[in-house]
Chains A and B, each alone.
Chain A
Amino acid sequence: MITAEQKPIQEIMEYVRPYSRILLVGCNECVTVCAAGGRKEVGLLSSALQMAFMQEGKVLDVKEMTLERQCDPEYVEELAGSINQVEAVLSMACGCGVQEVARRFKEKPVYPALNTKFMGASERQGVWAERCQGCGDCVLGLTGGICPIARCSKRLLNGPCGGSSHGKCEINPDVDCAWQLIWDRLKALGLEKRYEDIAPAKDWRASRDGGPRRIIREDLAS
């Protein structure tokens, strides 16, 4: 999923300060799962903002909505009925959702309430960790299902650097060495031989380096 965290309340307040009526929009997908921008967080942020402004002697009118998916035009359309009653939109979706709302409602300022972080998985209750950088050319089939691009601090493709120590990365003892994990897994699978094949220099065109990406499915595109 795409993970996110709420921005500091002061930063959000600065965005909202010029307005007295805003629409606060959550998303029912990834940011709900990582407890950053679902219906519950919309309610909490709405109250927090109203209270904070109240202390400054200002009444902020917040209309709350949570869409099924904020990155999908079909659901964003549901805002059309309310958009004219507000001066600005505060989005609690990831960056994709914020941009979709901005694209649809060109005349309304849209502000992000979250910092979008990474594509990750839940390690345990309340802990998410990066797993994928969307490089566009998946190497997991060669690395025992553990991604060296997302999980090695130097995104090395040919093995651990000299700083791997007791299974941990040199940058921080809380970070696992991705190559220790890969090696352990290759051994468990009986695939150690694979390690000595030199992974060639990566073609980064499939990643962000090739410019903004899009997928066109001829069979589905209208």
Chain B
Amino acid sequence: MKTQSALEKVLAAGHLAVTSECGPPRGALPDKIKEKAELLRGYVDAINVTDNQTAMVRMSSFAACLFIGQMGLQPILQMVTRDRNRLAMQSDIIGAYAHGIDTMLCLTGDHPCFGDHPMAANVYDLDSIQFVQMVKIMRDEGKFQGGDEIQNPPKMFIGAAANPFGDPFELRVARLAKKVKAGADFIQTQCIYDLDRFEKWMEGVRDRGLDEKVSILAGVTPFKSVGMAKYMKNKVPGMSVPDELIKRMSGVPKDKQPEEGIKICVETMQRLKEVKGVRGFHLMAIEWEQKVPEIVERAGLHPRPLV
């Protein structure tokens, strides 16, 4: 074992892992994050805490992770390179580790033009691959990027994202290979709706043996409504939503659409369970955390293993 991470233990024991996420509140509201996290207790192995997602200011991931840790749950610190240079990132990483946070997800982050501060400077001192590399060297060599030794280096279980639906498609496996080479331990993918394209990507992943080197958690998000499905299809860059799913959502009355969305999500998870190399799920129920227990149960992933 490289770390004390609960997620690493679940994966090492050969279980299908389940993670979910909480978006911190847009204010100093500790109860909000605690309420969201409480809904997930017993149904997930670890909880991603987003870092100013969609480039909107929120309570910091680090602060929200502390609340979740204090509740006896396992937070995953998300960090984007958009807002911090390498000094700030490294100091937050050792600070988080000092507070018992041992799992993180390294991202570049949405461009500021999508958020409520389009006028902000974007940092992007590192890209996500360089970020993963930095965290790995901090952990395995005990060194800051500048080369100095770290006293009690942070032992982080290192996550990265992958989007099999971005273009150019032929680079998507190669880009995963770079993240693996850089030191990623686990991958959480973009929301999967287009199973054919995902399976094609996984084929490429397996051909290169990358599934043996990194634990891939398949990302899923239930549709709440046909409107959300259309939004995901048309407005979110690098997202692939097949027309059949839009048809299926619009084929049921409005009050039945949430149930249809959950059904699609559970069916997707059942099919993904059969895909060789998928080691678990990352369930992103956007502002719909209360449905996570039901989805986890219906997908046959409850109870969670005790490790």
A residues with CB within 8 A of B? 153-167, 170-172, 177, 179-180, 183-184, 195-196, 198-201, 204
- Looking at B148-156, B175-183, B192-200, the stretch in contact with chain A turns out to be B175-183
Give chain A residues whose Cβ lies under 8 Å from the Cβ of B174. Answer: 159, 195-196
Interface pair A164/B238, CB less than 8 Å apart: yes
Give chain B residues whose Cβ lies under 8 Å from the Cβ of A158. Answer: 127-130, 175, 178
A200: min CB distance to chain B, Å:
7
B residues with CB within 8 A of A? 82, 86, 108, 110-111, 113-114, 122, 124-130, 133-134, 145, 161-163, 165-168, 171, 174-175, 177-178, 181-182, 190, 237-238
Interface pair B167/A154, CB less than 8 Å apart: no
Q: Which 9 A-B pairs have the closest CB atoms?
A: A162-B163, A170-B237, A163-B237, A158-B129, A162-B166, A156-B127, A201-B130, A162-B238, A163-B238
A155: min CB distance to chain B, Å:
5
Interface pair B124/A156, CB less than 8 Å apart: yes
Interface pair B182/A165, CB less than 8 Å apart: no
Give chain A residues whose Cβ lies under 8 Å from the Cβ of B181. Answer: 196, 198
Interface pair A160/B122, CB less than 8 Å apart: no
Residues A201 and B166 in contact in the complex (CB < 8 Å), given A154-B111, A159-B178: no
Residues A180 and B168 in contact in the complex (CB < 8 Å), given A154-B108, A165-B238, A171-B111: yes
12 A-B residue pairs with CB within 8 Å: A153-B111, A155-B127, A156-B108, A159-B129, A160-B167, A161-B128, A164-B237, A165-B166, A165-B167, A166-B167, A180-B168, A198-B181
Q: In the complex, A89 Cα to B167 Cα: how many Å?
A: 51
Give chain B residues whose Cβ lies under 8 Å from the Cβ of A183. Answer: 168, 171
Give chain B residues whose Cβ lies under 8 Å from the Cβ of A154. Answer: 82, 108, 111, 122, 124, 127
A134: min CB distance to chain B, Å:
17
Residues A162 and B111 in contact in the complex (CB < 8 Å), given A157-B127, A196-B177, A196-B178: no
> 8 extra interchain contacts, Cβ-Cβ under 8 A, other than A161-B128, A198-B178?
A154-B82, A154-B108, A156-B128, A160-B167, A161-B108, A164-B237, A195-B174, A201-B134
Give chain A residues whose Cβ lies under 8 Å from the Cβ of B162. Answer: 162
A204: min CB distance to chain B, Å:
7
B163: min CB distance to chain A, Å:
3
Interface pair B86/A201, CB less than 8 Å apart: yes
Interface pair A155/B238, CB less than 8 Å apart: no
Interface pair A195/B171, CB less than 8 Å apart: yes
Partner of B167 from the list A167, A195, A204 (CB cut-off 8 Å) is: A167
Q: In the complex, A156 Cα to B113 Cα: how many Å?
A: 16
Interface pair A162/B122, CB less than 8 Å apart: no
Q: In the complex, A198 Cα to B132 Cα: how many Å?
A: 11
Give chain A residues whose Cβ lies under 8 Å from the Cβ of B82. Answer: 154
Interface pair B161/A162, CB less than 8 Å apart: yes
Give chain B residues whose Cβ lies under 8 Å from the Cβ of A204. Answer: 125
Closest residue of chain B to A177 (Cβ to Cβ) is B167
Interface pair B111/A170, CB less than 8 Å apart: yes
Q: In the complex, A183 Cα to B172 Cα: how many Å?
A: 12
Q: In the complex, A167 Cα to B82 Cα: how many Å?
A: 22
Q: In the complex, A200 Cα to B132 Cα: how many Å?
A: 11
Q: In the complex, A52 Cα to B234 Cα: how many Å?
A: 47
B117: min CB distance to chain A, Å:
14
Interface pair A159/B130, CB less than 8 Å apart: no
Q: In the complex, A180 Cα to B169 Cα: how many Å?
A: 10
Residue with the greatest number of chain A CB neighbours at <10 A, chosen from B125, B162, B190? B125
B19: min CB distance to chain A, Å:
18
Give chain A residues whose Cβ lies under 8 Å from the Cβ of B168. Answer: 160, 164, 167, 180, 183-184
Closest residue of chain B to A192 (Cβ to Cβ) is B174
Give chain A residues whose Cβ lies under 8 Å from the Cβ of B114. Answer: 170-171
Residues A160 and B133 in contact in the complex (CB < 8 Å), given A165-B237, A170-B238, A201-B86: no
Give chain B residues whose Cβ lies under 8 Å from the Cβ of A198. Answer: 129-130, 133, 178, 181-182
A206: min CB distance to chain B, Å:
14
Q: In the complex, A138 Cα to B14 Cα: how many Å?
A: 46
Q: In the complex, A159 Cα to B190 Cα: how many Å?
A: 17
Interface pair B167/A180, CB less than 8 Å apart: yes
Give chain B residues whose Cβ lies under 8 Å from the Cβ of A161. Answer: 108, 128, 163, 166, 238
Give chain B residues whose Cβ lies under 8 Å from the Cβ of A201. Answer: 86, 125-126, 130, 133-134, 145
